[in-house]
Chains A and B, each alone.
Chain A
């Protein structure tokens, strides 16, 4: 069921200043119709400001926000027809579950019979059938989350906004809700903007991720693109684990410790760094591949169930972190501190970013 009324969001030149500080700095962003886009950034990066601007609760200094072809920036929040889920859920405690979900329908003067039907459908969608008569304080955290969600989409909004909706849940429930939210999104097909500071959540759920920091958009791409080709050190560091090592330049190529990494990219940066994802390093030498080799001694190794996390001091005194699947470790003794160890990285797994990585 694709939502025909899903609308693209077109944001351009959106700026919001607090004193000398830019909460948003000329942000240009297009959210495609029916897309699940995540705004990812550390706290204070401007991601919530951007979401609140789309919802109409935060008035920017200038810029444009279009839903489809319509300029919405001056439209008050209650006429934007945008469903919103807050971090605190903000369920109305003086109303039952059904009354909460029926609230937007009542405001739209939906006749009672239709309203009841829609509330039931919404409850079924979030797997809460039969709980309509409950009071809010009788619900668990996960159930509250679902009610907040149902309330936000029951009136078939053209756009759905979510501000860290899962951050109050415990880890297990959060992971299950991530999958459920994604399924729900597929079912409703509504354009969704999702805010989180949790990079794993962003990678799990999004069609595309917009990484934001200091009020500026840094990179917008799908999860693979963000993970495999981070635009700069901030993205490389913020999304996934990574070790960043400086590279040397010579004769049109980039070197690490006299090993050729790749040809110098054609950008206007003068320095480059190597980004290494810990799980891409391997302990055994892979066959038939061009490799980078890192020699060093184990500083610390930590058993973490499915993986072993190892900190290695390289011979050039840089530190590198490595994550091995536990089945790849032949014997744990070789990971004792002060053991000599060689690790290998396929050249195809090499990520190069501009900057020194300092």
Chain B
């Protein structure tokens, strides 16, 4: 049965023309936004992609990519980037899961109030928060003084301009990105499921691990993924709190541009970063529906 409406049938051609016209008139609403994004994002990224294959002499070359493999310093940048991203994601998971669980268990009115603790940082400039951590974590900062006062350690510990400071700052900035989707996933869980589990004789701990936790997986994965991917390309916090000691891909790209003005090298790093990001999203997207977590489709 592949009889597509016969073109000689009544009004068939006019109807097809009208359908096309209407489909395009709807789609055209998305065109202005798409054009801006194409100009600001797609075109530049495409251009950088091209530049990454152009050598200093203006000829096509793979030297920028070859350097990344040959030089240890590049290699280290990627290791650092992945290390920082994974650690930040893990810290967020450890802190975010209990927090989201706490919020999800509260009655709505209280949840709304305590949720402000997540939303306020979320809405505050990350520059401001990075600055605040810079102050809190410095040698004579609040944290050191507090720790010495209660006897945690005796002499000021170096908490900033190193990996520790970077991780603290990044975890603080990323935590809401994990908590919000996780909280939504938890709120969607039918409370009767837990009643049923208890009713069927599951001890609370079993009910949690066998029923509740698996049901929070979609939110957990979506949140961790968002955090991880954002970390991969993060710039401001490592640049300020790392104090030049935590060189991530993004900070490396900037310093190449600032110091050597080498577009090819900077672009190639950017391209690898983008490919890594897309690869992570793609792999996760095959396993989980990320789009549905963000846009609720599918």
Contacts and interface: CB of A to CB of B under 8 A. Distances in A.
Contacts, number: 42
B9 to A, nearest CB: 4
Contacts of A61: 4-5, 9, 12, 15-16
Contacts of A22: 1
B18 A59 contact: yes
B4 A74 contact: no
A20 B10 contact: no
B192 interface: no
A12 interface: yes
A119 interface: no
B5 A74 contact: no
Contacts of A68: none
Consensus secondary structure, chain B interface: loop
Interface string A45-63: 0000000000000011111
A12 B4 CA distance: 17
A15 B1 contact: no
Interface string B137-158: 0000000000000000000000
A15 B15 contact: no
Interface in B1-26: 1-6, 9-12, 14-16, 18-19, 22
A126 to B, nearest CB: 34
B23 to A, nearest CB: 10
A60 B10 CA distance: 11
A29 to B, nearest CB: 15
B10 A64 contact: yes
Contacts of B9: 13, 15, 61-63
Contacts of B16: 61
A17 interface: yes
A64 B3 CA distance: 18
Contact of B11 (A17, A20, A62): A62
Contacts of B12: 61-62
Contact of A60 (B1, B3, B4, B15): B15
A74 B6 CA distance: 18
Contact of B5 (A12, A15, A20, A73): A15
A288 B122 CA distance: 88
Which of under 10, 10 to 19, 20 to 34, or 35 or more describes the interface residues of A?
A: 10 to 19
Contacts of A20: 1-2
Given A17-B4, A17-B5, A74 B10 contact: no
B11 A63 contact: yes
B15 A74 contact: yes
A199 B18 CA distance: 36
Interface of B: 1-6, 9-12, 14-16, 18-19, 22
Given A20-B1, A74-B18, 15 more contacts: A15-B9, A17-B3, A17-B4, A17-B5, A22-B1, A59-B19, A60-B15, A61-B16, A62-B5, A62-B9, A62-B10, A62-B15, A63-B10, A64-B11, A73-B15
27 contacts: A15-B5, A15-B9, A17-B3, A17-B4, A17-B5, A20-B2, A59-B18, A59-B22, A61-B9, A61-B12, A61-B15, A61-B16, A62-B5, A62-B6, A62-B9, A62-B10, A62-B11, A62-B12, A62-B15, A63-B9, A63-B10, A64-B10, A64-B11, A71-B11, A73-B14, A74-B11, A74-B14
